[in-house]
Copies of this chain bind each other. A is one copy, B any other.
Amino acid sequence: MCELLGMSANVPTDIVFSFTGLVERGGVTGPHKDGWGITFYDGKGCRSFKDPLPSCESEVAKLIKNYPIKSKAVISHIRQANSGGVCLENTHPFTRELWGQNWCYAHNGQLSDYKEVLQPTRFQPIGQTDSELAFCWMLDKISQRFDAMPKDTQLLFDFVRSLGDELKALGVFNLLLSNGDYIIAYCSNNLSWITRRAPFGKATLIDTDVVIDFHEETTPNDIVTVIATRPLTNNESWHIMAPGQCVMFKLGEKVHEFVPQVSEKAS
């Protein structure tokens, strides 16, 4: 499995605090030694930093920790390989252009018996992972369903969630997907999120001995949502997502959510 990290904010915000926690999971507190990547949006542009080296040893990860790049939308991933070798082309996040927008994607989980089902045409995988194939398949489906970014984002949200359900049926599919404006999080078994806003307090990372006082780092109007495979702090209240749950964020705020009905049998 892997670790996902996403951020949506209403002002350009640095993700160094959360990334510092995540990086520890790449070879220190976690077994995710098979590369890592992070994509920062800046306007319509985005830039990805990737390394097939473990994040805890990576010179590029050190740069990210020491040189805060502020962004309103970030997706990051550290990898424990299960499908596809350890190499740059198999390193998340993956990006493609659709409708003149940068789409960025990271996946935690593993799919089975997917090769017959996932046969994209317009978007082709470059590497060998099930993850990138599923991304290409999703973008194929999205580009077939919509000619352009739909003005009613509920339509996009519902469609992406339905694709998430299809992929979840093939195995484990925890998803972060963004076009820079929106981040969609789909939970198969492990995904959690927190929205921080005034009054800001202190937070303590679980994975390394770091405390941050967000009150000193923010203004009263800041709204920052962080999404992660597992909660990154041990003194805050995270939303733990249910299987099949899907959330869409914009500028730090939740704009759409789907919570699956729990059947009586399962409750």
Question: Which residues of A does B touch, CB under 8 Å?
Answer: 42-50, 52, 59-60, 63, 67, 87-91, 96-97, 99-102, 122-127
Cα distance A52–B99 in the bound complex, in angstroms: 23
Contacts known (A47-B48, A67-B59); A42 close to B126, Cβ less than 8 A: no
Q: A42-B88, A45-B91 are in contact. List 15 more A-B contacts (CB 8 A).
A: A42-B87, A42-B89, A43-B89, A44-B87, A44-B126, A44-B127, A45-B87, A45-B88, A45-B90, A45-B126, A46-B88, A47-B50, A49-B49, A96-B97, A97-B123
What is the distance, in angstroms, from A97's C-beta to the closest C-beta of chain B? 6
List, in ascending order, chain B residues with CB within 8 A of A59's CB.
Answer: 63, 67
- Beta-carbon nearest neighbor of A91 in chain B: B45
A99 contact set on B, CB distance < 8 A: 124
Q: Are B45 and A48 in contact (CB under 8 A)?
A: no
When all copies of this chain in the complex are counted, the total is: 2
Neighbouring B residues of A43 by C-beta, 8 Å: 87-89
Q: How far is the CA of A50 from the CA of B40 in the complex (A)?
A: 11
Q: What are 6 of the A-B contact pairs (CB < 8 Å)?
A: A42-B88, A44-B88, A59-B67, A97-B124, A100-B126, A102-B126
Complexed CA–CA distance, A190 and B59 (Å): 35
Q: Which of B89, B90, B100 contacts A124 (CB 8 A)?
A: B100
In the bound assembly, the distance between CA atoms of A97 and B47 in angstroms comes to 16
State A125–B98 Cα separation when bound (angstroms): 9
Cα–Cα distance between A44 and B125 once the two chains are bound (Å): 10
Across the interface, which residues of B come within 8 angstroms of A125, CB to CB? Answer: 100
Complex Cα distance A100/B90, Å? Answer: 13
| Residues of chain B within 8 A of A88, CB atoms compared | 42-47
**Nearest-Cβ distance from residue A87 to partner chain B, whole angstroms:** 5
Interfacial chain B residues near A48, Cβ < 8 Å = 47-48
